[in-house]
Amino acid sequence: MTIKQIETLKTPKIIQQIESIIKPLEFLERSAKNYGELFFTSFFANLETLVVSHPQDLQELFNPTNKFLDAPGTANEIFKPLLGENSLIVQNGEHHQKLRKLIMPPFHGEQMLNHGQQICDITRQAIRCLKLGETFIARHLSEDITMTVILKVVFGINDGLRFEKLKNLITTWLDLTSSPLHASVLLLPYLQKDLGAWSPWGIFLRLRQQIDEELMAEILERRQQVQPLRFDILSLLIEAEDENGEAMSDVEVRDNLLTLLNAGHETIATAIAWALYWIHQQPEVYEKVLYELQSLNTSDPIKIAQLPYLTAICQETLRIYPVILFTFPRITIRSVNLRGYHVTSGTYVLPCIYLTHRREDLYPQPEKFQPERFINRKYSSYEFWPFGGGSRQCLGQVFALFEMKLILATILLNYQLKLEEKKPVTPARRGFLLAPQGGVKMSLVANTGC
Ligand code: HEM
């Protein structure tokens, strides 16, 4: 068999970095059009990386029995100043897997299902603050809801001074990532210079320090007043032990709380803002999902989460504009042949979720929002994979879909909303995420709940 040559982008590194920050989708689409389904880039963290998106290549690489890939935490060093050096995301090999096992249980199974009613109540409370006819930004509403879910459900911090303080600090901190300037500071390590309290990186570090102090105080209080029968995820993390009976240290708990907060707040909030946009942009989608929800005749969160059309809406939302464009980088630990292309051992690989989700052969008219795709066809985990794959696959994916469906169902069943702008909403980078530009302007038309 002849070995095919993988091409390298010819544009200078700095141009690739700027384009990938300012216009990431155009950059990816143009690169795929000009260089094919496998190409080398150097826009990510100063590394030469191979962008992969063909389902066959993903299957070859991610299939656990093949053992072609490692998911080194050292490739995620850019997250260290953000999340701390004990964050799951920057751990390597065995330690990474051990930590995952400690953190994972509360996000699956019964523990998670117990939180369903709390998520619906938080949603009702947040939307109650809106007045009839009032214009609001959907992303702000969903951020308010998902932040409260994280603080109450994951951290177990209920109302009070610390709740308000953390909510404000974290909102300001995360908002810093919204502008391209601050996104550049996060994405390009050489810009991370503390030039005083007013410099972009200086503001960032000082806020992180204040958040750290609040989280540490909460962890210490929690350790001192052991309260049995607490089911929030922080209590479970504090108590969790590995097979040798070892628990996490305070700084490990703190860094991983911050990791869960970063990974699990804006991601879901962004997905919900997109879903609200698509549902209200297409009247037939709105009518169909409302009919499905109203026909259910129960408010049981578990039954709501099993609804097929609501599920398809969430899947199509995460397909059309995946909230995260790439997985974390991987590295090949032995050479591999991908459809005739030879990839040597030691190659950094950047699997691209967006390019897979935009394949015409899998998703005809990929730019159209059509939840029916997911009713009519079952996609493999190499064709539809908004949560990544392999050893670093999103730890909160079950929780994320559960929360997303419950928040959407509660809003749709109790409130009639409308889009305030006729023009299509376009995607824009928000830190590491792909979010709706402007956050989706909507208004509250009627209160339809009982
Ligand atoms: C719509 C919502 C979400 C999306 C689209 C999403 C997507 C992703 C993706 C693409 C990755 C990288 C996977 C890889 O490299 O293969 C990831 C990792 C991760 N996600 Fe999520 N995520 C979401 C929500 C959440 C939630 C709710 C949590 C927890 C509260 C969470 C926790 C994490 C963690 C801890 C990792 C790192 C895993 C590791 O390093 O082993 N995510 N997520």
Ligand 1: distance of its center to the CA of 146 in Å? Answer: 15
- Please say if the pLDDT value at position 159 is more than 70: no
Residue 280 inside a domain? The answer is yes
Ligand 1 pocket check: which of 387, 399, 402, 433 to mutate, most ligand atoms within 8 Å of Cβ? 387
- What are the structure tokens assigned to 267, written together? 């991601």
Which pLDDT does position 355 carry in this prediction? 98
The pLDDT, as a whole number, for residue 107 is 78
CATH code (residue 418): 1.10.630.10
Any domain includes 265: yes
Q: 389 CB under 6 A from ligand 1?
A: yes
pLDDT bucket at 77, cuts 50 / 70 / 90: confident
User: 444: CA distance to ligand 1 center in Å?
Assistant: 31
- Could you count the other beta carbons within 10 Å of the beta carbon of residue 229? 5
Contacts of 247 (CB under 8 A, 6+ apart): 238, 239, 240, 241
Using a 6 Å cutoff on CB, does residue 328 contact ligand 1?
Answer: yes
251's tokens: 């700084």
Does any ligand 1 atom lie closer than 6 A to the CB of residue 89?
Answer: yes
* Residue with CA at minimum distance from ligand 1 atom 3: 267
**Number of structural domains, the chain?**
1
Asked whether residue 166 is assigned to any structural domain, the reply reads: yes
**Residue 260 belongs to a domain:** yes
- The stretch 113-128 carries a mean pLDDT of 90
Q: How far is the CA of 105 from the centre of ligand 1 (A)?
A: 15
Distance CA 76, CA 90 (A): 6
Question: Is the pLDDT score of 449 beyond 80?
Answer: no
User: Is the per-residue pLDDT at 244 higher than 90?
Assistant: no
- Across all residues in the chain, what is the average pLDDT? 90
Does residue 210 register a pLDDT over 90?
A: yes
Q: How confident is the model at residue 106 (pLDDT cuts 50, 70, 90)?
A: confident
How far apart, in whole angstroms, are the C-alpha atoms of residue 308 and residue 403? 15
- Name the residue with the closest Cα to ligand 1, atom 17: 394
Give domain status of residue 246, yes or no: yes
Separation of alpha carbons 33 and 241, rounded Å: 49
CA of 91 to the centre of ligand 1 (A): 15
Query: What is the CA(395)–ligand 1 centre distance, in A?
Result: 5
Which ligand 1 atom lies nearest to the CA of residue 103?
35
Question: Model confidence at 70, in pLDDT bands (50, 70, 90)?
Answer: very high
CB of 399 within 6 A of ligand 1: the answer is: yes
104 versus 358: the higher-pLDDT residue is 358
What pLDDT sits at residue 113?
A: 76
**pLDDT per residue as tens digits for the range 381-438:** 999 999 999 999 999 999 999 999 999 999 999 999 999 998 999 999 887 889 999 9
Spatial CA neighbour of 240 closest among 103, 107, 111:
103
Q: What pLDDT is attached to residue 80? A: 85
Asked if 265 contacts 174 with a C-beta cutoff of 8 angstroms, the reply is yes
Both structure tokens of 312: 């398809």
User: Domain limits at 104?
Assistant: 7-447
Q: Which residues contact 449 (CB under 8 A, 6 or more apart)?
A: 124, 413, 414, 415
Question: Can you give the pLDDT at residue 21?
Answer: 84
Q: Nearest C-alpha to atom 11 of ligand 1 is from which residue? A: 394
pLDDT by residue (tens digit) across 23-58? Answer: 999 999 999 999 999 999 988 767 899 999 999 999
State the closest ligand 1 atom to the C-alpha of 390, by its place in the atom list counted from 1: 16
pLDDT score for 179: 63
Q: Is the pLDDT of residue 229 over 80?
A: no
- Residue 62, amino acid: F
Q: Is the CB of 401 under 6 A from ligand 1?
A: no
pLDDT band at 69 (very low <50, low <70, confident <90, very high): very high
Average pLDDT over residues 372-376: 97
Residue with CA at minimum distance from ligand 1 atom 27: 264
Instruction: Give the mutation target among 115, 331, 394, 434 for probing the ligand 1 site: most ligand atoms within 8 A of CB.
Output: 394
Task: With respect to residue 1, please indicate whether it lies within any of the assigned structural domains.
Answer: no
Residue 450 has pLDDT above 60, yes or no: no
> In terms of Cα–Cα distance, which of 258, 383, 372 is closest to 316?
372
Least confident of 112-116, 147-151, 249-253: 112-116
How far is the centre of ligand 1, averaged over its atoms, from the C-alpha of 150 (Å)? 14
Judge whether 342 lies within some domain: yes
Most confident of 197-211, 215-229, 346-360: 346-360
2 falls within a domain: no
Helix axes 266-281, 250-264, angle to 10 degrees: 10
CA distance 172 to 153: 21
Q: Is 106 in the pocket of ligand 1 (CB under 6 A)?
A: no
Residue 304 CB less than 6 A away from ligand 1: no
